[in-house]
Amino acid sequence: MKFIDEATIEVHAGNGGNGIVAFRREKFIPKGGPSGGDGGRGGSVIAIADRNINTLIDYRYARVHRARGGEHGQGSDRYGAAAEDIVLRMPVGTMITDADTGELIADLSLDAQEVVLAKGGRGGLGNLHFKSSTNRAPRQATKGTEGEHRRIKLELKVLADVGLLGLPNAGKSTLIAACSNARPKIADYPFTTLHPNLGVVRTGPARSFVMADIPGLIEGAAEGAGLGHQFLRHLQRTRLLLHVVDIFPSGASVVTAADRQALVKRLTSEIKSLVAELKRYDPRLAKKPRWIVLNKTDLIEQEFQAEILSALQKSLRTKAPGYCVSGVARTGCEDLMQDIQRWLDAQRIAEIGSVEPDVRFTAKEDEHAD
């Protein structure tokens, strides 16, 4: 299925039915009096979050959703039938805004959460409501009100605890496949990932978290280079970012001691350029806790791995945790996932005011990321 994460639609609620003027004229009832019924309520347009849906593709092609109007009232005290509501099922994580004003209507962050996008019109009153001791034959009735209509912008932001961030071919898809139940497409060319992938990482019998992999980001994304900033919105809800870095320089077979300085310099430049793109998209995203993950370490001699990581952290002037892993060999992945789980647990406990988060796993923003 094609992944669609944004769409613009029109929703039209139904109009309320009109009330009518009518009188009882049955045989043997010479003074029957007014009997005009009310109009029925117009149908509303309602959005409901559904965890079984993961894309907005249905709304890319069906752009207009119109509810039916209520029936008009009838004589003999008969009320018009109300119209059925239209239910639009959307993925959990969908943000709904008014396309004309930019006002946030709802954030569907919970399964089965619902919101009325356009309210149906009220039915009009029939003349039976206007009878009184001084007005026994009222000849007035009211019309139903119009239903609401508006243009709606839908924007899907996936719900994940951890997001993978990095350049193309950094090994993000391999890493999420090694650590979770996700099975993304993996190939040896850039931009293999064309849409976000979600995977559940299980760290114990009753412990797990959700990890998201987005397409690679390159320098100049703000100007549309690569896939641009199109999918960065999916990292805005995450608690933690894993900055996946390819430790193995392209075209090299081994990394010697003489190469280490140049390697650290290259990695530092790549990380800073990517952080600059984050800031251009959303400064709040750039301030999220971000850990450094050196990937493809199976291609580097083990004695150099810790040394390169330490030199890289010193070059970036960051105290954020760093890890050396290999998605292919699955080395270092278990320790990384367990540390992430402990950090997430500490964050959740801290949110309810029980304890302070573990300072060992609290990342600081790079001081020289610009």
209 and 151 housed in the same domain: no
142 and 167 housed in the same domain: no
In this prediction, residue 184 carries a pLDDT of 56
pLDDT tens-digit profile of 67-109? 999 999 999 889 999 999 999 999 888 999 999 999 999 999 8
pLDDT band of residue 368 (cuts 50, 70, 90) is very low
Q: How many CB atoms lie within 10 A of CB 64?
A: 9
206 and 66 housed in the same domain: no
41 and 73 housed in the same domain: yes
What CA–CA distances, in Å, run from 143 to 19, 146, 150? 6, 9, 22
Question: What is the mean pLDDT of the segment spanning 281-309?
Answer: 83
In this prediction, residue 287 carries a pLDDT of 87
46: pLDDT strictly greater than 90: yes
Top-confidence residue, 124 or 355: 124
Closest CA to 249 of 229, 273, 265, 228: 265
From 156, 189, 209, the end of a domain falls on 156
Q: Domain limits at 63?
A: 6-156
147 and 248 housed in the same domain: no
Q: How many domains does the chain have?
A: 2
Top-confidence residue, 120 or 188: 120
Residue 121, domain member (yes or no): yes
In this prediction, residue 211 carries a pLDDT of 87
Residue 273, domain member (yes or no): yes
Top-confidence residue, 12 or 332: 12
The angle at the Cα of 234, spanning 232 to 239, to the nearest 5 degrees, equals 105
Average pLDDT of the chain, as a whole number: 82
219 and 319 housed in the same domain: yes
Q: How far apart are the first and last CA of the chain?
A: 38
152 and 196 housed in the same domain: no
152 and 169 housed in the same domain: no
pLDDT band of residue 199 (cuts 50, 70, 90) is confident
130 and 168 housed in the same domain: no
- Which CATH number is 343's domain given? 3.40.50.300
Please name the residues in contact with 262: beta carbons below 8 A apart, sequence gap of 6 or more.
none
Closest CA to 90 of 57, 62, 152, 48: 48
Separation of alpha carbons 1 and 50, rounded Å: 17
At 69, is the secondary structure helix, strand, or coil?
coil
Residue 368, domain member (yes or no): no
From 121, 156, 191, the end of a domain falls on 156
